[in-house]
Amino acid sequence: MGGGVCAGETWCHQPELPLIILLKEGSDNAKDWAAYALGVFAFCFKRSEQIFKADIIQPMISLLKNGSDRLKEQATYALGNLSFHSKQRCAEIVSAGAVLPLVALLKKGSELSTERAAFASSSDRWSDLIFSAGAVSPLVAILKVGSAATKGLAVKLI
């Protein structure tokens, strides 16, 4: 008979689908966990393609702009992992408006969101946009007081 509890169920073969719904419609706590889990899935190239096609960039950018510190950390993590594998995806994230919120996190984010913003911004494809959006002074400040990981990312950007 059947092939398991959820044989044939779309969500069983694409576990990120319920997370995408939570990201768009859930409580802040649900969005927090959904953004984190999507970031984990996004590190895998195959999953990142599926996630990217689900139109989550604007909800992630909305979290970057308006979310709590924790939501900003998770959204930055997910966007960094989504942009990691593909020049095209990186360009789409940039054109969707991610640069200014990422630079804002470099300037005034929590330690973790600053580190994640530095990682998300560390692609060569972002560097000109990051600099023109005012990232030089926050990157220099990171070199003075940031964690070792964040300093390494700042050096890569500068």
SS3 per residue for the chain: CCCCCCCCCHHHHCCHHHHHHHHHHCCHHHHHHHHHHHHHHHCCHHHHHHHHHCCCHHHHHHHHHHCCHHHHHHHHHHHHHHHHCCHHHHHHHHHCCCHHHHHHHHHHCCHHHHHHHHHHHCCCCCHHHHHHCCCHHHHHHHHHHCCHHHHHHHHHHC
pLDDT at 7: 40
- Mean pLDDT, the chain, whole residue set: 79
Whole-angstrom Cα distance, residue 133 to residue 118? Answer: 14
pLDDT at 11: 40
CATH code: domain 10-157 is 1.25.10.10
Is a pLDDT exceeding 60 seen at residue 4? Answer: no
Full-model pTM: 0.77
Domain regions of the chain by residue span: 10-157
Contact 135, 106 (CB under 8 A): yes
| Six token digits for residue 5 | 């509890």
14 — pLDDT class (breaks 50, 70, 90)? low
pLDDT at 15: 64
pLDDT at 110: 79
Contact 97, 61 (CB under 8 A): yes
Kindly tell me the sign of the dihedral angle through the C-alpha atoms of 106, 97, 90, 30: positive
* Mean pLDDT confidence for 13-30: 84
* Mean pLDDT confidence for 144-157: 75
Ranges 51-55, 74-78, 140-144, most confident: 74-78
| Residue of 64 and 114 predicted with greater confidence | 64
C-beta atoms surrounding 100 within 10 Å: 15
pLDDT at 116: 78
5 — pLDDT class (breaks 50, 70, 90)? very low
pLDDT, tens digit, for every residue of 89-128?
888 888 888 888 888 888 887 788 777 777 777 666 666 7
Compute the CA torsion angle 18, 20, 22, 23 (nearest 10 deg): 160
